[in-house]
């Protein structure tokens, strides 16, 4: 190449030569600076060869227009993970760290055609019944409860103490989980994402959701689980369990990351303090530049074809890089022209996020309530000391330490005092069955509401 067209240089620490020429999207180097990897991947063209975990190969779409083409073409690209050729050929180890995210389950995320339409309609219609005013009230109650845990200390990890827990509590209430079932749902989802005894966590989660389905069959209520069950799609018990588990799991990780990443942006960019749409603007900027799920939307070509300048085979694993597409040259002009929500953070096409409006509302309310309660909150450590969780799919901080002026616990209407909150470590131990005398997190929240 001449001096005006230099050869692209792999990002520091990129061991592509050890991955069969594929660029690895795992490890601390990628987590620390994924944009450097996306800049390098663009030299391949609209698509690039990547490795998601040792031995797990995929084609990553990094261009906005190409991503839209894939996401909107349900005839050429399918979602059913049973088509994944490398998995069927035994090339993917059963204990691969990416298997829990990509493996097939009978829900609307992994279905195509008429079956997808039936399952998705049940989900979207049920979520559409959530009253926005009630959702705000629920989020504020959960926010007040969580702040009551750490507010008197004057310091907190806004990931572990707030952003990580708030979506779980909100969804538990929206789905009408009683105390015992809700405790196990929280334990199961937390264990799955924290990697602590993940197999046991999955078993606990699906067992709890199965009990919730049985409960709602006999005693339906005014909640998403009951609405899903009453839908004209007439879901079976198995289908109910998998749709509810999908909503709980898929709704939790992106939402906690969106809350955390937006808080990170607000605490590290002084310019928002001088803008009228403080939180709204920060959410949009986060969805553009630091989306909570940076690489996902697994698809499988229905036949051998050329796509994005590369030959792909039927059953190849293909993922969309929302983060790379959002920050590519094509989107820069659209964003400057004022199209501030034309990003791909919510995906697109028939499998676009069915809950983006509630997710945005929960994020807005959670952050607004936190800033109102703790107006002088600030980052407690230098920004460059923060670390990001490794992995090819999500974009999430490991911790977000903050400091603020201590505040007294919120007094609920009719309450003499805010109820004391159990230590988080002891709750986790109880969740594993070692201290049955301790109440779980959801039980403690329900008790706090009625004190």
pLDDT tens digit at each of 451 positions of the chain: 444 445 566 676 665 545 557 999 988 899 999 999 999 999 999 999 999 999 999 999 999 999 999 999 999 999 999 999 999 999 998 888 888 889 899 999 999 999 999 999 999 999 999 999 999 999 999 999 999 999 999 999 999 999 988 998 898 889 998 878 888 887 887 776 655 566 788 888 899 999 999 999 999 999 999 999 999 999 999 999 999 999 988 778 899 999 999 999 999 998 886 555 689 999 999 999 999 999 999 999 999 999 998 899 999 999 999 999 999 887 776 676 665 678 999 999 999 998 899 999 999 999 999 999 999 999 999 999 999 988 899 899 999 999 999 998 776 654 444 333 333 333 333 333 333 334 577 677 777 776 6
In the chain, count H helices and then E strands: 18, 11
The pLDDT value recorded for residue 417 is 41
Strand partners, 78: 300
The pLDDT value recorded for residue 7 is 55
Determine the Cα angle at 27 with ends 22 and 30, to 5°.
70
d(CA 168, CA 101): 18
Query: Which one, of 280, 268, 285, lies nearest residue 397 by Cα?
Result: 268
d(CA 151, CA 131): 29
The pLDDT value recorded for residue 100 is 80
β-pairing, 401-403 vs 155-157, is: antiparallel
Q: What is the CATH number of the domain that holds 118?
A: 1.10.630.10
The pLDDT value recorded for residue 13 is 61
Answer whether residue 25 is part of any domain: yes
Q: Which two tokens stand for residue 394?
A: 């999500």
Residue 61 sits at φ, ψ, to 5 deg, of -90, 120
Give the N- to C-terminal CA distance of the chain in Å, as an integer: 72
Q: Which two tokens stand for residue 258?
A: 């969106």
Q: Which two tokens stand for residue 184?
A: 């196990």
Determine the Cα angle at 112 with ends 110 and 116, to 5°.
80
The residue range of the domain holding 148 is: 16-176+221-410
Question: Is residue 278 within a helix (H) or strand (E), and if so which, with residue range?
Answer: helix 278-289
Give Dmax over CA atoms of the chain in angstroms.
76
Describe the strand order of the beta sheet including 23-24 as a list of residue ranges. Answer: 23-24, 47-53, 56-61, 318-321, 295-301, 77-78
Does residue 25 contact residue 50 with C-beta atoms inside 8 Å?
A: yes
Answer whether residue 194 is part of any domain: no
Determine the Cα angle at 43 with ends 38 and 45, to 5°.
95
Answer whether residue 432 is part of any domain: no
Q: Where do we find the tokens 């603007």?
A: 281
Answer whether residue 442 is part of any domain: no
DSSP string, 85-102: HHHHTT-S-TT-TTHHHH
Answer whether residue 182 is part of any domain: no
What is the Cα gyration radius of the chain?
Answer: 22
Total count of domains within the chain:
1
Map residue 306 onto helix, strand or coil. Answer: strand
Does residue 429 contact residue 183 with C-beta atoms inside 8 Å?
A: no
Does residue 362 contact residue 170 with C-beta atoms inside 8 Å?
A: yes
- The structure's pTM equals 0.87
- Strands (DSSP E) contained in 44-179 are 47-53, 56-61, 77-78, 155-157
The pLDDT value recorded for residue 423 is 35
Answer whether residue 424 is part of any domain: no
The pLDDT value recorded for residue 195 is 52
d(CA 389, CA 292): 12
Q: Where do we find the tokens 């039927």?
A: 314
Helix, strand, coil percent values for the chain (each to nearest 5): 55, 10, 35
Question: Is residue 247 within a helix (H) or strand (E), and if so which, with residue range?
Answer: helix 237-268
Answer whether residue 316 is part of any domain: yes
C-alpha distances out from residue 107 to 32, 116, 227, 243, 294, Å? 33, 8, 17, 6, 22
The pLDDT value recorded for residue 435 is 33
Answer whether residue 425 is part of any domain: no
d(CA 252, CA 262): 15
C-alpha distances out from residue 113 to 38, 78, 125, 155, Å? 32, 9, 18, 50
Those residues whose C-beta lies under 8 Å from the C-beta of residue 382, and which sit 6 or more positions away, are: none
């Amino acid at each position: 190449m001449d001096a005006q067209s230099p050869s692209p240089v792999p990002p520091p620490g990129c061991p592509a030569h050890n991955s069969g020429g594929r660029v690895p999207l795992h490890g601390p180097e990628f987590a620390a600076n994924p944009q450097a990897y996306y800049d390098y991947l663009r030299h391949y063209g609209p698509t690039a060869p990547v490795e998601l975990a040792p031995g797990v190969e995929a084609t990553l779409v990094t261009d906005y227009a190409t991503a839209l083409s894939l996401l909107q073409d349900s005839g050429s690209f399918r979602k059913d993970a049973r088509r994944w050729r490398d998995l069927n050929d035994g090339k993917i180890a059963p204990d691969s760290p990416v298997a829990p995210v990509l493996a097939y389950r009978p829900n609307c995320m992994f279905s195509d055609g008429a079956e997808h339409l039936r399952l998705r309609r049940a989900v979207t219609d049920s979520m559409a019944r959530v009253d926005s005013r009630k959702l705000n009230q629920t989020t504020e109650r959960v926010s007040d409860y969580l702040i009551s845990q750490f507010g008197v200390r004057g310091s907190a990890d806004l990931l572990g103490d707030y952003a990580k827990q708030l979506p779980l509590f909100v969804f538990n209430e929206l789905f009408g989980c009683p105390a015992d079932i809700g405790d196990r749902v929280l334990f199961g989802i937390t264990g799955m994402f924290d990697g602590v005894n993940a197999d046991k966590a999955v078993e606990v989660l699906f067992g709890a959701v199965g009990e919730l389905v049985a409960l709602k069959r006999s005693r339906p209520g005014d909640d998403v689980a009951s609405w899903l069950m009453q839908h004209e799609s007439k879901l079976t018990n198995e289908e109910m369990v998998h749709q509810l588990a999908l909503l709980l799991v898929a709704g939790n990780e992106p939402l906690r990351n969106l809350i955390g990443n937006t808080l990170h942006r607000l605490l590290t960019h002084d310019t928002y303090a001088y803008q009228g749409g403080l939180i709204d603007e920060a959410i949009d900027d986060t969805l553009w530049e630091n989306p909570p799920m940076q690489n996902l939307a697994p698809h499988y070509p229905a036949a051998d074809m050329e796509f994005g300048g590369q030959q792909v085979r039927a059953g190849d694993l293909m993922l969309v890089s929302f983060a790379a597409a959002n920050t590519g040259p094509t989107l820069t002009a659209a964003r400057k022209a004022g199209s501030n929500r034309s990003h791909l953070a919510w995906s697109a096409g028939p499998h676009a996020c069915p809950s983006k409006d509630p997710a945005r509302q929960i994020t807005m309310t959670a952050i607004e309530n936190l800033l109102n309660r703790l107006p002088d909150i600030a980052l407690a450590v230098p920004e460059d000391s923060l670390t990001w969780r490794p992995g090819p799919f999500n974009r999430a901080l490991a911790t977000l330490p903050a400091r603020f002026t201590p505040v007294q616990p919120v007094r609920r209407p009719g309450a003499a005092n805010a109820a004391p909150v159990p230590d988080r470590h002891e709750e986790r131990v109880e969740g594993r069955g070692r201290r049955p005398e301790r109440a779980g997190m959801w039980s403690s929240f329900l008790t706090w509401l009625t004190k």
